[in-house]
Structure 1
Amino acid sequence: MSDIESTTGGHKPRSNAWQSAITVVQEAEPPFIPSGAHAMTIVVEFPPGDPGTPPHRHPGPAFGYVLDGEMVFELEGEPVRVLQAGEAFWEPGGDVIHYQDGNNRDDIPVRFTVTMLCEPGKPMLTLVDEDELVRRRNRRAPRTD
Structure 2
Amino acid sequence: MKMHTLRSATALALLALSLGVPAYAGEAKQQLLLDVDFAPRDVVKVDVGDFHFRPGQLAPLHTHAAPAIGYVSKGTIYYQVEGQAPQILKAGDAFYEPVGPKILHFDNASATEEAVFTDFNLQQQGEPFIVFDHPPTEKIDRRTFPTAPIVANGVTKAIAVSERIGKLVTRTEANPVVGYVAQGNVTISVNGKAQRYAQGQSFFAPAGSTARYAAVGQGATIISFTLKR
- TM-score normalised to the size of structure 2? 0.45
For 1:44, give the aligned amino acid: F
Query: Contact 1:59 / 1:119 at 8 angstroms: preserved in 2?
Result: no
Identity of aligned residues (%): 25
For 1:121, give the aligned amino acid: G
For 1:30, give the aligned amino acid: F
Higher relative contact order structure (alpha carbons within 8 Å, sequence separation ≥ 6): 1
For 1:64, give the aligned amino acid: G
For 2:39, give the aligned amino acid: P
Specify every segment of 5 or more residues in structure 1 that has no aligned partner in the other structure, as ranges. Answer: 1-15, 130-145
Structure 1 92/107 Cα, relative in aligned 2: closer, same or farther at 3 Å? same
Alpha-carbon shift at residue 32 of structure 1 (Å): 3.2
2:109 aligns to what SS in structure 1?
Answer: coil
Query: Contact 2:78 / 2:108 at 8 angstroms: preserved in 1?
Result: yes
**1:124 equivalent in structure 2:** 129
**2:64 equivalent in structure 1:** 58
**2:114 equivalent in structure 1:** 109
Among 82, 92, 100, the residue aligned to 2:105: 100
For 1:55, give the aligned amino acid: L
Instruction: Compute the RMSD of aligned alpha carbons.
Output: 2.2
Deviations 1:4-54 (A, max 9, x none): xxxxxxxxxxxx994423322111112232x354211211110001112x1
2:38 aligns to what SS in structure 1?
Answer: coil
Structure 1 20/59 Cα, relative in aligned 2: closer, same or farther at 3 Å? same
**1:29 equivalent in structure 2:** 37
Query: Contact 2:43 / 2:122 at 8 angstroms: preserved in 1?
Result: no
Looking at structure 2, the residues matched to 81 and 108 of structure 1 have their Cα atoms a distance apart, in angstroms, of 18
Aligned structure 1 segments of 4 or more residues deviating by more than 3 angstroms = 16-19
Among 51, 54, 61, the residue aligned to 1:47: 54
Looking at structure 2, the residues matched to 36 and 87 of structure 1 have their Cα atoms a distance apart, in angstroms, of 24
For 1:104, give the aligned amino acid: A
Query: Contact 2:75 / 2:114 at 8 angstroms: preserved in 1?
Result: yes
**Higher strand proportion (structure 1 or 2):** 2
Looking at structure 1, the residues matched to 55 and 120 of structure 2 have their Cα atoms a distance apart, in angstroms, of 23
**1:136 equivalent in structure 2:** none
For 1:73, give the aligned amino acid: Y
The structure number with the bigger radius of gyration is: 1
Looking at structure 1, the residues matched to 64 and 85 of structure 2 have their Cα atoms a distance apart, in angstroms, of 19
Which 10-residue stretch deviates more, 108-117 or 23-32?
Answer: 23-32
Query: Contact 2:54 / 2:114 at 8 angstroms: preserved in 1?
Result: yes
**1:11 equivalent in structure 2:** none
Looking at structure 1, the residues matched to 63 and 124 of structure 2 have their Cα atoms a distance apart, in angstroms, of 12
Looking at structure 1, the residues matched to 34 and 43 of structure 2 have their Cα atoms a distance apart, in angstroms, of 24
Structure 1 20/105 Cα, relative in aligned 2: closer, same or farther at 3 Å? same
